[in-house]
Amino acid sequence: MSWDKKLINQANKIIKQYPQKRSALGPLLHLAQSKDGYISDDSIEVISELIGITEVQVKSVSTFYSMYKQEPTGKYLISVCKSISCEISNSSDVIKKVQEITGLNNNETDEEGIFTFEKVECIGACGGAPAIQINYETVEGMTPESTESLFNWLKENQPKVIVADILQEKFGGTRSFEWGIKDNSGTIASVPGFQNFNTVGESK
């Protein structure tokens, strides 16, 4: 096994929460992804040993869900929604703008490892369509112009923590609804922000 002791302990704590070890597969894949940014072959082997299922079974789940990445992504994962509400609110123009700026096709990462671009299905922000996510932090009401400004800001500042509220305030338009409470926490890597997996940070 090549996970360090700390990670193995963390994995065992997760496993204990379930009546059957194999039920911990999803959270363990998240843990693996928070370690490397994607699901490595090594992690597949470790998880298979920890919960007593075959590597093929681990792999089949990790490749079924698109949020488990099979390769390293760039520092910023740009996910642009292409589902119906966004589509009828001109998400194709936002997609075109992202591709024009980055030169990337769907699921590609640039050579510098800064941006990965992907088109995704509904991200639950239909009321503020078109919506995009940077490292899973959502911004609603995007236009090609605001997309360009957002990329310029990301390139220039390369923020360590990506916070939805900050992005929304700077670049977003119409929102699904007002959350009321400002949240200064966000993701510190191109994986979903989970307190348990130490992938959440505070913007200063």
**Where along the sequence are the contacts to ligand FES (CB under 6 A)?**
81, 83-86, 122-126, 129, 131
151 phi, psi to nearest 5 deg: -65, -40
Could you tell me the smallest distance in angstroms from the CB atom of residue 84 to ligand FES?
A: 6
Q: What angle do CA 204, 75, 176 make, to 5 degrees?
A: 65
Q: Between 112 and 178, name the residue whose CB sits nearer to ligand FES.
A: 178
**Which residue lies nearer to ligand FES by CB, 129 or 162?**
129
Helices of type H across 17-160: 25-36, 41-51, 55-64, 84-87, 91-102, 144-157
For ligand FES, which is the closer residue by CB, 28 or 98? 98
Q: How far apart are CA 102 and CA 16, in angstroms?
A: 43
> What is residue 159's three-state secondary structure?
coil
User: In angstroms, how far apart are the furthest CA atoms of the chain?
Assistant: 51
Which residue in 64, 69, 70 sits closest to 135, CA to CA? 69
> Least distance in Å: CB of 47 to ligand FES?
31
**Nearer to ligand FES (CB atom), residue 81 or residue 101:** 81
Torsion angle defined by CA atoms of residues 168, 172, 176 and 178, in that order, rounded to the nearest 10 degrees:
40
- Beta carbon of residue 162, minimum distance to ligand FES (angstroms, whole number): 18
CB of 27 to ligand FES, least distance (A): 25
Task: State which residue, 28 or 164, has the beta carbon closest to ligand FES.
Answer: 164
CB of 34 to ligand FES, least distance (A): 25
